[in-house]
Amino acid sequence: MNRKLLLVEDEEHLRELVRLCLEDLAGWQVITAVSGENCLHILQTSTVETILLDVSMPGMDGITLYEHLQTNPKTQTIPVILLTAKVLPSDRAKFAKMGVNGVISKPIQPLTLVAEIAEIMGWPAPT
Amino acid sequence: MISHSYKILLVDDSLEDRATYRRYLRSSEKPTYEILEADTGELALQICQQSLPDLIVLDYCLPDQDGLTFFQTFTQQFGQFSLPILLLTGEGSERVAVQAIKQGVADYHVKNQITADNFHQLLVSTIQQFQWKQITHRLQEQENLLNLFVQYAPVGIAMFDREMRYLMASQRWIDEYSLGSMADLLGRSHYEVFPDIPDEWRQIHQRCLAGATERGNREGLRRKWTTWEARPWYQGTGEIGGIIIFVVDITQQKETELALQTLNAQLEQRVQERTQALSQSNHYLQESITQLEVSEKQLADLYQNAPCGYHSLNADGLIININNTELDWLGYSREEVVNRKHFHEFLTPVGKELFRQNFPLLKERGWVKNLELKLIHRDGSSRWLMFSVTAIRDEAGNFVMTRSISLDITERKQAKLALQKQTQQQFLWQITQKIRHPLDLDTILQTTVAETRQILQGDRVAVYRFRSDWSGEFIAESVGDRWVKLVTTEVSTVCQDTYLQATQGDCFQNPKPCVVVNIYEANLQPCHISLLEQFQAKAYIIVPLFAWEELWGLLAIYQNTGPRHWQGWEVELFQQIAQQTMIALQKSHLYHQLATELRKNQQQTLVLQEAERRWRSLLENIQLLVVEINNLGKIQYANPYFLALTEYQASEILEKDWFTFFIPPLYQDRQRQEFAKVFNSHFQAQNEFVIRGKNGQEKLIAWNHTPLRDLDGQIIGIISLGEDITERHRTEQIKNEFIGIVSHELRTPLSGIQMSLGLLNTGIYDHDLKKIHRILEIALLDTNRLSNLVNDMLDLERLESGRSILEKQVCDAMDLIKQSSNGMQAIARKNHIHLEIIPTSIRIWAAPDSIIQILTNLLSNALKFSPPHTTIQLRVDRQGKETIWQVRDQGRGIPPDKLEAIFDRFQQVDASDAREKGGTGLGLSICRTIVERHGGRIWVESILGQGSAFYFTLPISNNPPNDP
């Protein structure tokens, strides 16, 4: 099972910790991007099964990035899961309306994070 | 028609507009204008009261009233056809203009379309048109009047053309000759209507058509008398257009005349007859007395049966001799009378009084002539006699007896009374005329009593008024000087007549008059007699006064000198006076009621005006937007606050379309729908929407819309009250953003901590010490970051809310600099940075800890952004009344667009700085707040790539200032 995910996260600590979770707990392969621009750049050369996207980022934020991805035929088919600290119901509704595949709120326990991603993607839960 | 000079009154509150009109008018050479000006309707009306101009040019919008109100007031005061009014309106005010013209305004013109040329033409044509209208109106009025007059004149009138065809006929004419209706008559020939008219009349008509005027009297059918007059009428050209015939019914006049003629003739005849008889009998008597040879029998027969009465009285008034004729008049036998009856016993009370006065006179003087006395027959009937009396004396000149000759003058007396009655009717008319006009109660009553007393020669005439409990009082009287006064200026006599009270005025509920000739012979109750004695009354007539079919009071006439035989006509006249008085009184009451209502109306108007003033004052001063739009969406009113906010003048927006004028295009359709909903639902509505001001500025307003109804409850518009929430809305947005940022800033380290500990807790790194260390390091860093953040936020919150007290004291700037740099020197050395300190000893007024916090903050920022082998300089200097502090570095610098923003919360130059440099994003905000609380300023100067210098100022402590 060589699942490959792209994590877009500007916070250095979180980037490191989420990568540890997904690699060491779930056994998935993770590549990371530090910003929206960085993400678009990486996707030019790499293919991934899903994108984990932080919403609040300086520069291009997660929503703008998502809209960018939707305009490109090459990237618009990639499932996107949002990671966000914004948990107001209105935000959730807005995100769902946009067409993202899932929304996961921070802070979150490592095991829960893995389980939620697997559920959204329809992957078997890692043991 | 065309005059060469017109007087024009300009009514406009705009000085500028008036100047323009003035200029236009002055530019005309012919006609010339005399110009009057008024800036309010009030002033205009005052000017018109002094002298009416030829034309008023009226601005619709006046400060004190609108044009229509002015027009209505003007029309009420001066009439509609006194002068033309030209109304000037704003553009798009056709509705107002049409309404004005319907009400009679001469013309209107749109204000901004007036030019020098058309203004002058407009004025002249308006004045001329109005003059035609005036003339037409006057002619119409005259025609109507004439028609009315002819139709309802109590006189037969017929107007014919030259061919004797009917042009007009009065109703009386038509009725008199049974001619059907006016419509049947018009255009038909008089000779066709009356085919049998005598030739004599045709000749009269012809003579009149030739210019003659003829009149005459004529006895018509059914003993009707008429007087007629026929005369030509002239056309405008001076030619005879035909003739008019007037016929007046004088039958009644004629009858009265005839009756009087007959009466006088009869009277004269009787007097002649009687005088003749008297002289004849005297002649016989003389003869018989002087001729002793005439036989006793003859003499006695003559004495006894002559057509006149003879009697003799002794000194006591006892009848000692009487002839048959007089006995006949009395209805008694000789035996019953002679030496048994006193003459006065056969007299009426008035007669008795007369006799009482005349008998001594007779005895003394020796004769009384033409004394008229009423003799009462045994059966109660009476006759008027005229007595001529001589006193018979003995040789010594002592009185022996009277000898009186009397003549029956009853018929003459009656005729005289009839005439007198006619005169009395005139008196009634006279009183009626006098009391018909004065409209106050007192005048009516005073006039009534005074006139009545004079005419009826009573001793007292008074008006008694009932109260609700049926007691009452005398409220007006006219009384001779010798009698007690019942009504004086201070007091009116109140009568507690318990009988009247108990019976609710019972005896007077019947409108019949109560006539008493002698109070002692009228079966009155003793209490009534004593009451009447208080008034000194001996005889009276009392007539109840009814108002609105209720017993209102009494009108009374009293005779105090003695009993009085009230004549039938006197009672009747008195009753008629009472009726007329009550008619006048009710009229007066109605008038007062009307006046009271009028006053009430005026008061109501005042109250309304006051309420209107209050509302207006509220609307003018309220800090809310108030705007009224009508059902067409046109703006009818906007209050000063609205105008100030949108920067419009009222005149720029009144009658303009609300939606296109104020709603941004994008929202116009939606707003129209919303307003339609308010109109249809009849309910209030609230919403928030943006309006656009004169200069394009948009304001967010929270609105409350209320339907506006007219008196019939019909919705005629909407009143919208709005609150400007632009600022509030902006603040709210900032607050929400801030909460978003804070939550993000707090959650980020929290996420790190939770995930780190969570990972460790899974146990997968139990054997990987290196990873455990790394994860713990992350957790610790995030914990520090979280703790700093929370501390800074609390600091800032306390500083900003004023909850943290800065304990200021006099301190030395040098000490503060030294203390704050001490801790920093070590870090600087570690990073190979030179920390240069230039302290100056200045006494300042500050909270030392907070100043150290600022300096530490600025120094640690400088250290974070200074590359190795650069210098950071910290110094303080005196500058005027301030100290100026400086922290200068040689770091990367700050972009110009961030120089201000970095002092706001969470506004680092680069978001990643927070993580990398361990800042919270609140340090500079805290610095700014502290400086500001000391009354100083903080700012930064920077050149990208060369370094930044942070400055702040603090006041010097000569006089410790108040904590700002």
Q: Which of A4-18, B251-265, B890-904 has the highest mean pLDDT?
A: A4-18
Of the partner residues A10, A13, A86, the one whose CB lies closest to the CB of residue B782: A13
Q: How far is B670 from chain A (nearest CA, A)?
A: 25
Contact B792, B923 (CB under 8 A): yes
- Residues on chain A touching B740 (C-beta within 8 angstroms): 86
CA distances from B677 to B633, B658, B684, B685 (A): 13, 16, 10, 9
Measured CA to CA, the distance from residue A48 to residue A50 in angstroms comes to 6
The CA-CA-CA angle for residues B551, B555, B561, to 5°, reads 150
Q: How many CA atoms lie within 13 A of B41 on its CB side?
A: 20
- Residues on chain B touching A20 (C-beta within 8 angstroms): 759, 771, 775
Contact B492, B473 (CB under 8 A): yes
- Residues on chain A touching B743 (C-beta within 8 angstroms): 85-86
Q: Which of B230-239, B285-294, B803-812 has the highest mean pLDDT?
A: B803-812
Task: Name which of B46-55, B339-348, B677-686 the model is least confident about.
Answer: B677-686
Measured CA to CA, the distance from residue B724 to residue B149 in angstroms comes to 69
Measured CA to CA, the distance from residue B459 to residue B747 in angstroms comes to 118
Measured CA to CA, the distance from residue A53 to residue A30 in angstroms comes to 13
Asked if A86 has any chain B CB less than 8 Å from its own CB, the reply is: yes
> Edge to edge, what strands does the sheet with B399-408 contain?
B319-322, B309-313, B399-408, B382-393, B367-376
In sequence order, the 6+-apart residues with CB closer than 8 A to the CB of B233 are: B159, B240, B241, B242, B243, B244
Interface of B with A (CB under 8 A): 740, 743-744, 747-756, 758-759, 762, 764-765, 771, 775, 778, 781-782, 910-912, 915
Contact B913, B902 (CB under 8 A): no
Quickly count: other Cβ atoms within 10 Å of residue B625's Cβ: 23
Helices B441-456 and B568-621 cross at an angle (nearest 10°) of 170
Q: How far is B894 from chain A (nearest CA, A)?
A: 17
Measured CA to CA, the distance from residue A17 to residue B765 in angstroms comes to 13
Q: How many CA atoms lie within 13 A of B860 on its CB side?
A: 17
> At B520, is the secondary structure helix, strand, or coil?
helix
Contact B561, B536 (CB under 8 A): no
pLDDT at B504 over 70: no
Q: Which of B872, B886, B863, B870 is nearest to B938 (CA)?
A: B886
Which of B737, B745, B759 is best to mutate for the A interface (most A CBs within 10 A)?
B759
- Which residue does chain A place closest to B779, by CA atoms? A13
Task: Indicate the average pLDDT of chain B.
Answer: 82
Measured CA to CA, the distance from residue B646 to residue B692 in angstroms comes to 7
The reported pLDDT for the residue numbered B279 is: 63
pLDDT at B1 over 60: no
Name residue, tokens 């020098």.
Answer: B116
Of the partner residues B754, B759, B765, the one whose CB lies closest to the CB of residue A107: B754
CB within 8 Å: B754 and A58: no
Contact B444, B588 (CB under 8 A): yes
Q: How far is B865 from chain A (nearest CA, A)?
A: 19
Measured CA to CA, the distance from residue B33 to residue B4 in angstroms comes to 8
Contact B318, B355 (CB under 8 A): no
Contact B748, A11 (CB under 8 A): yes
CB within 8 Å: A111 and B915: no
- Residues on chain B touching A108 (C-beta within 8 angstroms): 751, 754-755
What number of residues does chain A have?
Answer: 127
When comparing pLDDT for B243 and B608, which is higher?
Answer: B243
Mean pLDDT of A57-83: 89
The reported pLDDT for the residue numbered B526 is: 83
Q: How far is B754 from chain A (nearest CA, A)?
A: 7
Q: CA-CA-CA-CA torsion for B787, B792, B798, B799, nearest 10 degrees?
A: 160
In sequence order, the 6+-apart residues with CB closer than 8 A to the CB of B47 are: B9, B36, B38, B53
What number of residues does chain B have?
Answer: 964
pLDDT at A79 over 90: yes
Q: How confident is the model at residue B293 (pLDDT cuts 50, 70, 90)?
A: very low
Contact B173, B158 (CB under 8 A): yes
Per-residue pLDDT reduced to its tens digit, B892-902? 888 888 888 88
Which of A15, A16, A19, A20 is best to mutate for the B interface (most B CBs within 10 A)?
A20
Of the partner residues A10, A58, A107, the one whose CB lies closest to the CB of residue B755: A107
CB within 8 Å: B915 and A12: yes
pLDDT at B296 over 70: no
Task: Name which of A46-55, B422-431, B548-557, B796-805 the model is least confident about.
Answer: B422-431
The strand pairing partners of B699, in sequence order, are B691
CB within 8 Å: A17 and B743: no
Q: CA-CA-CA-CA torsion for B439, B444, B445, B447, nearest 10 degrees?
A: 150
Burial B542-562, CB ≥16 within 10 A → b, else e: bbbbbeeeebbbbbbbbbbee
Q: Which of B896, B901, B886 is nearest to B944 (CA)?
A: B896
- Which residue does chain B place closest to A56, by CA atoms? B744
The reported pLDDT for the residue numbered A92 is: 77
CB within 8 Å: B750 and A14: no
The reported pLDDT for the residue numbered B220 is: 66
Q: How far is B749 from chain A (nearest CA, A)?
A: 9
Task: Name which of A39-43, B105-109, B426-430 the model is least confident about.
Answer: B426-430
Amino acid identity for residue B483 in this structure:
W
Mean pLDDT of B789-793: 86
Asked if A109 has any chain B CB less than 8 Å from its own CB, the reply is: yes
Measured CA to CA, the distance from residue B691 to residue B699 in angstroms comes to 5
Which of B736, B739, B747, B780 is best to mutate for the A interface (most A CBs within 10 A)?
B747
> At B886, is the secondary structure helix, strand, or coil?
strand
Inter-chain Cβ pairs, chain A and chain B, closer than 8 A: 70
- Which residue does chain A place closest to B759, by CA atoms? A110
Contact B161, B242 (CB under 8 A): yes
pLDDT at A78 over 90: yes
Amino acid identity for residue B564 in this structure:
R
CB within 8 Å: B758 and A10: no
H/E run at residue A81: strand A80-84
CB within 8 Å: B752 and A85: no
The reported pLDDT for the residue numbered A33 is: 94
Name residue, tokens 């006279």.
Answer: B430
Could you tell me what percent of chain B has a pLDDT over 70? Answer: 87
Of the partner residues A11, A20, A58, the one whose CB lies closest to the CB of residue B759: A20
Measured CA to CA, the distance from residue A107 to residue B116 in angstroms comes to 81
Residue B225 phi/psi, 5° resolution?
Answer: -110, 135
CB within 8 Å: B775 and A20: yes
Q: How confident is the model at residue B643 (pLDDT cuts 50, 70, 90)?
A: very high
Pair of tokens at residue B924: 């500079």
CB within 8 Å: A10 and B911: yes
Task: Report the helix count and the strand count for chain B, using DSSP H and E.
Answer: 30, 33
CB within 8 Å: B915 and A16: no
Pairing of strands A50-54, A4-8: parallel
Mean pLDDT of B789-797: 85
The reported pLDDT for the residue numbered B403 is: 84
H/E run at residue B403: strand B399-408
Terminal C-alpha separation, chain A: 12
Q: Which of B586, B581, B592 is nearest to B434 (CA)?
A: B581
CB within 8 Å: B759 and A14: no
Mean pLDDT of B208-236: 79
- Residues on chain A touching B901 (C-beta within 8 angstroms): none
pLDDT at B762 over 70: yes
The strand pairing partners of B215, in sequence order, are B229
A:8-67 residues touching chain B, CB 8 A cutoff:
10-14, 16-18, 20-21, 24-25, 56, 58
Sign of the torsion formed by the C-alpha atoms of B722, B723, B724 and B727: negative
When comparing pLDDT for B775 and B370, which is higher?
Answer: B775
CB within 8 Å: B750 and A13: no
Mean pLDDT of A13-38: 92
**A80 secondary structure, DSSP code:** E
In sequence order, the 6+-apart residues with CB closer than 8 A to the CB of A12 are: B915
Pair of tokens at residue B69: 């109100």
Of the partner residues B740, B762, B778, the one whose CB lies closest to the CB of residue A13: B778
- Residues on chain A touching B762 (C-beta within 8 angstroms): 25, 110-111
- Which residue does chain A place closest to B761, by CA atoms? A110
Quickly count: other Cβ atoms within 10 Å of residue B701's Cβ: 23
Contact B468, B474 (CB under 8 A): no
Measured CA to CA, the distance from residue B645 to residue B697 in angstroms comes to 9
Q: How confident is the model at residue B964 (pLDDT cuts 50, 70, 90)?
A: very low
Pair of tokens at residue B144: 């109507």
In B898-961, DSSP assigns E strands to 938-943, 947-955
The reported pLDDT for the residue numbered B134 is: 75
Measured CA to CA, the distance from residue B792 to residue B926 in angstroms comes to 8
In B714-814, DSSP assigns E strands to 715-724, 809-812
H/E run at residue B159: strand B156-161
Note the pTM of the prediction, 2 decimals.
Answer: 0.41
- Residues on chain B touching A86 (C-beta within 8 angstroms): 740, 743-744
Q: How confident is the model at residue B436 (pLDDT cuts 50, 70, 90)?
A: low
Measured CA to CA, the distance from residue B505 to residue B498 in angstroms comes to 10
Q: Which of B161-175, B490-504, B544-558, B932-946 has the highest mean pLDDT?
A: B932-946
pLDDT at A59 over 70: yes
Mean pLDDT of A111-115: 92
Mean pLDDT of B279-301: 55
> At B946, is the secondary structure helix, strand, or coil?
coil
- Residues on chain A touching B754 (C-beta within 8 angstroms): 107-109
Measured CA to CA, the distance from residue B768 to residue A23 in angstroms comes to 15
Per-residue pLDDT reduced to its tens digit, B58-90? 888 888 888 888 888 888 888 777 788 888 887
pLDDT at B638 over 50: yes
pLDDT at B368 over 80: yes
Of the partner residues B740, B778, B915, the one whose CB lies closest to the CB of residue A17: B778
When comparing pLDDT for B276 and B363, which is higher?
Answer: B363
pLDDT at B959 over 60: no
Residue B428 phi/psi, 5° resolution?
Answer: -60, -45
Q: How confident is the model at residue B294 (pLDDT cuts 50, 70, 90)?
A: very low
Task: Report the helix count and the strand count for chain A, using DSSP H and E.
Answer: 5, 5
CB within 8 Å: A17 and B756: yes
Q: How confident is the model at residue B557 (pLDDT cuts 50, 70, 90)?
A: very high
pLDDT at A6 over 90: yes
Helices A12-20 and B726-762 cross at an angle (nearest 10°) of 40
